[in-house]
Structure 1
Amino acid sequence: MSDKTSSSGPVSGVANRFASALLETADESGPGAIDQVERDLDRFNALIAESPDLARLVRSPVFSSEQQLGAIKAILDKAGIGGLAANFLKLVASKRRLFAVQQMISAYKAMVATKRGLVHAEVTVAEAPSPRVVDDIKAALKGVAGDKVVLDVKVDPSIIGGLIVKLGSRMMDASLRTKLNSIRLAMKEVG
């Protein structure tokens, strides 16, 4: 077992291996294949989110590989997903690894972003920011991460105000909730 597998869990190891093999295959398949696979995987991921039955099929160990493969083939045909992505999803079903397919899709997308030199930043704010604020955040992050920053904005009212930024393995918490907790702790120590 590799360090990557043991440190990030067995599902992450499986997901990374499958995603890496898919990216390598797509890369060797010619121009546009990587993008097409990504679009098809995004569509499949959206189907999982929209269909409780598909989500159950993906997560439940009670279905045999034949049942999973038959269902996946029908879903892919109906959704119009073909090519490498369809072959990949059928392989995952036949190997009884559907339980990790969403992690595989995430890993694939992360590997594609890295290959393109993109850096993903997750920003959590208390309320939906204006386009100007999003542009300001992107500009600030470009100074740290370079020109190719992809911003994922999440809204979490529980942070009260400020923002939390995750950039790769780094995190900066400038939320009002954290500042208030720090003040609360300082007041307890003084009193």
Structure 2
Amino acid sequence: MSVNAISKRYARALVEIGTEQKKVEQFADELDGILAAFSEEKNLRLVLTSPTFPFEKRSAILTEVAKKLKLSAPIRNFLGLLLEKGRLQVLPQIVAEYRRFADELSGILRAQVAAASALDEEQIKVIRAGLEKQTGKKVILDTKVNPELIGGLKAEIGGRVFDGSLSTQLKRIEDTLTKG
């Protein structure tokens, strides 16, 4: 089974549990916490995903990490299941899919917006409002600066790219002029 299919299956199951318990957002925060721990402590992730370490020791380590992070029982059980099934290395993909499913349930879309220079709060508010009007959903923006754009914006939302950057417009003009 592919990593994509595995991550979707586990994420969907966890979203269903979160929905039943009305803890979808709490679970997302807890999953983000465990991913942060894994990225800060590379050896932790390596030990927990390595089949060369005995399962009992990996399970004990995971239990201690869960206690330190104050993870809820459902998330502790979920991580234990991933460890038991040898799927802990897929956790980043599972978390990404979980966020996507949780956002769908909540009617939220996440958008990445790149601009040639930093955007102020008013500009962000106008962009968010425009994207919300376009999609009919609540939009959460992640903004970043990309000086290669020269000017304008480039937004990606729901797999669609809206490119209003000056560099793209100049490229189109160049293509038009060279084609005659």
Tell me the CA shift for residue 42 of structure 1: 1.6
> Match of 2:3?
11
Q: Secondary structure at the match of 1:39?
A: helix
What displacement does 1:173 show? 1.3
In the alignment, the residues of structure 2 paired with residue 90 and residue 158 of structure 1 have an alpha-carbon distance, to the nearest angstrom, of 45
Point out where structure 2 has 5 or more consecutive residues left out of the alignment: none
Aligned length: 179
Taking the aligned partners of 1:27 and 1:75, their CA distance within structure 2 comes to 25
Quick check: 1:150 aligned with 2:136?
no
Q: AA paired with 1:15?
A: S
Distance 2:156 2:43 in 1: 33
**Is the 1:164–1:172 Cα contact (8 Å) retained in structure 2?**
yes
Alpha-carbon distance between aligned partners in 2 of 1:154 and 1:65, rounded to the nearest angstrom: 43
Q: C-alpha deviations, 1:20-59, integer Å up to 9, x for none?
A: 011112222x33x22221121121122223222234446x
Q: Is the contact between residue 18 and residue 104 of structure 1 (CA under 8 Å) also seen in structure 2?
A: yes
Q: Could you list the per-position Cα deviations for residues 133-162 of structure 1 after superposition, in whole angstroms to 9, with x for gaps in the alignment?
A: 100101111210125111122332332321
Distance 1:178 1:61, change over 3 A: farther
Partner amino acid, structure 2, of 1:21: A
Equivalents in 2 of 1:61, 1:185: separation in Å?
A: 52
Counterparts in 2 of 1:66-145, with a 5 A limit? 66=55, 67-145=57-135
Distance 1:151 1:161, change over 3 A: same
Mapped contact 1:65–1:94 kept (Cα < 8 A): no
Does the C-alpha gap of structure 1 residues 26 and 184 become closer, same or farther in structure 2, counting only changes over 3 Å? Answer: same
- Write the distance in 2 (CA, Å) between the matches of 1:164 and 1:70: 46
Whole-Å separation in 2 of the counterparts to 1:64 and 1:55: 12
What fraction of aligned residue pairs are identical, expressed as a percent?
29
Question: Structure 1 residues 167 and 23, CA, compared in 2 at 3 Å: closer, same or farther?
Answer: same
Q: TM-score, normalised on structure 1?
A: 0.81
Aligned-pair RMSD on alpha carbons? Answer: 2.3
Question: TM-score, with normalisation over the residues of structure 2?
Answer: 0.86
Contact 2:107 2:137 in 1 (8 A): no
Could you tell me whether the CA contact under 8 Å between 2:131 and 2:139 is conserved in 1?
yes
8 A Cα contact 2:110 2:140, kept in partner: yes
Runs of at least 5 residues in structure 1 that lack an aligned partner in the other structure: 2-9
Q: Comparing 152-161 with 80-89, which one deviates more in the overlay?
A: 152-161
Out of 161, 170, 178, the residue aligned to residue 171 of structure 1 is: 161
